Amino acid sequence: MIETLSAGPDAAGERLDRYLASKLPALSRARVQALIDEGKIHVDGKAARASLRLRGAEAIRVEIPAPEPIALLPEAIPLSVVFQDKQLLVLDKPAGLVVHPGAGNKGGTLVNALLHHVKDLAGIGGELRPGIVHRLDKDTSGLMVVAKTQAALEALQKAFASREVDKRYLALVAGQPPDSGQFDTLHGRDPKNRLRFSGKVKRGKRAVTRFTVVRRFKEAALVEIELLTGRTHQIRMHFAEGGFPLLGDALYGGRKQSKSPIIARQALHAARLSFVHPKTGKTVAFTAAPPKDFEQAMARLSKR
């Protein structure tokens, strides 16, 4: 696919990679830089550099290669199943497991494991995300629900969208937050880092996070979190921008958390999940205790 753009006066002085990322929403800044390195972006007929400062009157040509097809194959990856019936499956996802295939993760994902565990899952909800109702970040552990029928998928997706699902998390955060509180902000892509999200944006969707401190340590706290909305990185974004980054969160916590001696990943665990069963109409609730690394982190904190 070829995209052609004419840089207007508003582009004057802007870096090429930043300008293209803002004009082509389907491309992250990192993806734009990769295309530049591959020689697939030309300005006024010449191969360009990412750092090129535009004058505001250039013709830009972007060649976007077609995505390589991903063949989803069942893989015998162990799963910790909390509950299962003919309509759905609830599992306790370990930290480090990616939910679905994508760039750099063509196998070894939760979806590959599910295709092995649930023989007739393929095709429910889409080829690349069969049965997936919601997701957790790679390094977040805890409860997820997976639909095993199309009807269950649609019912659960509707419940999540209408905020009828009770999702509770446990997190270890730096500092001493108030005993309870609520973050209520906008949510959008961070203009300075496309890998992150920010509540300090001019336009975006509403994001609401409620929390209560469960236990305090000398320089940290264990908090229980209720998600009233379900935006990407919502908890991590809110606590970092509130001054209490999650322990071990390299992306949002900066250099100090990237080298955290307490835990090697963001200290976030989906501990409770409650929703109306799509078949029976009854409310079901599930809990999962924090994994070993989370418990070890609390033990380390208690000794400080």
Q: How far apart are CA 291 and CA 299, in angstroms?
A: 13
pLDDT in the model for residue 73: 84
Taking only the tens place, the pLDDT of each residue in 119-144 is 777 666 655 578 889 999 999 999 99
Residue with tokens 């000398």: 218
Taking only the tens place, the pLDDT of each residue in 190-208 is 888 878 999 999 989 999 9
pTM across the whole model: 0.78
Amino acid (1-letter code) at residue 174: A
Bridge partner residues of 276 (DSSP) = 283
Tell me the H-state helices in the chain. 16-23, 29-37, 110-117, 150-161, 234-241, 250-258, 292-302
Report the mean per-residue pLDDT for the chain.
90
Tokens for 187? Answer: 């949510």
Taking only the tens place, the pLDDT of each residue in 168-193 is 999 999 999 999 999 999 999 888 88
CB contact burial 3-32 (16+ within 10 A = b; e otherwise): eebebeeebeebbbbbbbbbebeebebebb
Q: Select which of 17, 92, 137, 249 is catalytic.
A: 137
Residue 212, φ and ψ in degrees, nearest 5: -140, 135
Mean pLDDT of 161-165: 91
Mean pLDDT of 50-77: 82
- For the chain, state the CA radius of gyration: 22
Q: Is 137 a catalytic residue?
A: yes
Q: How confident is the model at residue 69 (pLDDT cuts 50, 70, 90)?
A: low
